[in-house]
């Protein structure tokens, strides 16, 4: 039996993961903005489910909540940083308030969660942290510029921090799902469209999403199965792409990036002293 701390546990992949882990007999500490959203699971798993109110956008509350969770559990084997939200719109269309909320939730909140967990994991002799990213942590779509900024940002943060703490027995997994059938799309914060973007790539993607043409191939249940299985492997990869869309898009992006880099070798070396 393992103990898991999961943020954003009331819906999407976080909810499915919580249900799966509780059903098999594990202990779950669910961090959610609305405690009432977990009432049904609390009734079924009262002895193995602890629910903590936590909004990652309120960064000052993160460290006390995580400290409380570790103190009550005694040991937490896996921390799953899953809470996030999506902001949709061309960069010019977004409001300052929307941008601040996106960064506070997806980037600053995730950073502070990891920072709060590290000393506690170190004190107990190690553990694992899963950070939910996205294919959008390595590729980019129009209208998701701020979402991508947070996902590319958290991936860079995790890749650096992993090197800092590996000797303490702390390891990381970056989970990169492609478009997946969850309620993420329904929860998108959509900026008001500007007419000047109608005939651009931004306007085209907005139209495809609104019409239902945008393909969503990922299966949430299968994603959760893969996440849990990977987190329980003796040796984990750093990144886990989930879904054919994610695999294909990331593969293409990396190949294109590498090909472009190779054309610049002489210029790059020529910049040395």
- Catalytic site residues? 133, 147, 151
What does the chain come to in residues? 273
List of residues 6+ apart from 239 with CB closer than 8 A = 173, 174, 176
Kindly state the tokens that stand for 111: 């950073």
The first and second tokens of residue 162, run together, are: 């992993």
User: Which residues neighbour 252 within 8 Å (Cβ) at sequence distance 6 or greater?
Assistant: 139
Q: CB of 69 within 8 A of CB of 5?
A: yes
Beta strand extents in 8-100 (DSSP E only): 27-32, 49-53, 78-81, 87-88
């Amino acid at each position: 039996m393992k103990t898991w701390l999961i943020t954003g546990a009331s819906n999407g992949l976080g909810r499915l993961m919580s249900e799966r882990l509780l059903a098999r007999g594990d202990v779950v500490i669910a961090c959610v903005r609305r405690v009432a959203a977990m009432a049904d699971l609390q009734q079924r798993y009262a002895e193995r489910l602890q629910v903590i109110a936590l909004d990652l956008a309120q960064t000052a509350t993160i460290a006390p909540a995580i400290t409380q969770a570790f103190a009550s559990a005694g040991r937490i084997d896996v921390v799953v940083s899953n809470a996030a939200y999506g902001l949709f719109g061309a960069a010019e269309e977004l409001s300052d308030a929307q941008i601040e909320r996106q960064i506070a939730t997806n980037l600053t909140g995730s950073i502070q969660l990891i920072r709060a967990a590290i000393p506690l994991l170190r004190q107990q002799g190690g553990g694992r942290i899963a950070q939910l990213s996205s294919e959008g942590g390595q590729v980019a779509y129009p209208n998701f510029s701020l979402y991508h900024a947070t996902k590319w940002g958290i991936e860079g943060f995790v890749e650096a921090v992993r090197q800092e703490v590996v000797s303490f027995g702390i390891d990381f997994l970056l989970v990169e799902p492609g478009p997946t059938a969850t309620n993420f799309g329904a929860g998108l914060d959509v900026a008001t469209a500007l007419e000047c973007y109608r005939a651009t790539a931004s306007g085209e993607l907005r139209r495809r999403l609104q019409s239902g043409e945008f393909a969503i191939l990922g299966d949430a249940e299968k994603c959760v199965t893969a996440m849990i299985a990977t987190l329980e492997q003796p040796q984990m990869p750093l990144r886990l792409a989930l879904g054919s869309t994610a695999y294909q898009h990331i593969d293409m992006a990396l190949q294109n990036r590498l090909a472009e880099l190779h054309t610049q070798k002489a210029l790059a070396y020529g910049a040395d002293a």
